Amino acid sequence: TVADLKGLKQGQLRLAVITTAKYFVPRLLGPFCQRYPGIDIALQVTNHSGILERLTDNLDDLYVMSQVPEHLDVVFQPFLDNPLVVLAPVNHPLAHEKNISLSRLAEEPFIMREPGSGTRKAVQQLFATHETTVKVKLELGSNEAIKQAIAGGLGLSVLSRHTLTPDGANSELKVLDVEHFPIHRNWYVVYPNGKQLSVVARTYLEYLLDAAKQFSTSSSSSSD
């Protein structure tokens, strides 16, 4: 509308996103802010349990997370896949093996996210289902620090593919071909059921869903 074009959408947008979405969501905010110069943004980046707390306290307009909370009454919509992959340094002996077994993986030192992390929970569930125990050498509360630790040879880990560069490439890290991986997950945009979204929040929600559609089309065509 004409009002949109004149930048008449005003106000604050409060977002809270899980750590892996911080590679995607801020990048999208650039074009959004250019389109709506009257909108200011507060963006919180935290792990799964941090998002749950903020959601319970109704602190933000919209939340991006990978596991929809079952015990809270929320509206949710999946908008992009979020595969969890096994990462090793490029020169690792397993780097070129095919269909590596979980038991072989368990022989390697493992780097695990902190308690409260959704990634950690998904990884622990997979190992538990297949009665595998990994040797956790290091526990780290940051995806970036884990990538550095992998590159530095401290161990292997499982992270969202979105923690790699936008096209999934990284010169120091290699995605291993391990059975039962990737773990298929989605990002969801979530808000409390019954919450009256502001015009600004609704505008952003539409923008996010649309941008994700374009992102998934372009990333699937480039990997063909």
The residue range among 4-12, 14-22, 88-96, 193-201 that interacts with ligand PGA, by the rule CB under 6 A, is 14-22
CB 79 within 8 A of CB 208: yes
Site stretch for ligand PGA (CB under 6 A), options 27-35, 52-60, 86-94, 111-119: 111-119
* Selected range binding ligand PGA among 30-38, 113-121, 131-139, 197-205, rule: CB under 6 A: 113-121
Q: Does 118 bind ligand PGA (CB under 6 A)?
A: yes
For 111, 139, 142, the CA distances from 114, given in Å and listed in that order, are 10, 6, 8
Backbone torsions φ then ψ of 218, nearest 5 degrees: -70, -35
216-220: long-range contacts at Cβ-Cβ below 8 A with a sequence spacing of 24 or more?
216/80, 216/81, 219/167, 219/168
Q: Is 163 in the site for ligand PGA (CB under 6 A)?
A: no
Select the residue interacting with ligand PGA from 113, 147, 162, 174 (CB under 6 A): 113
Per CB under 6 A, 157 contacts ligand PGA? no
Query: Does 74 sit near ligand PGA (CB under 6 A)?
Result: no
Q: Is 20 in the site for ligand PGA (CB under 6 A)?
A: yes
The helix/strand/coil state of 4 is helix
CA distance 108 to 86: 12
Question: Measuring CA to CA, which residue among 14, 106, 102, 22 is closest to residue 61?
Answer: 14
CB of 7 to ligand PGA, least distance (A): 34
Binds ligand PGA (CB under 6 A): choice among 18, 39, 87, 190: 18
Give the interface segment with ligand PGA, choosing from 13-21, 103-111, 131-139, 201-209 (CB under 6 A): 13-21
Rule CB under 6 A: say whether 48 interacts with ligand PGA: yes
- My answer on whether omega of the bond before 78 falls inside 30° of 0, hence cis, is no
User: CB 28 → ligand PGA: shortest distance, Å?
Assistant: 18
Residue 147 CB contacts under 8 Å (≥ 6 apart), including other chains: 87, 159, 163, 170, 172, 173
What is the binding site for ligand PGA (CB under 6 A)? 18-20, 47-48, 66-67, 82, 113, 117-119, 160, 185
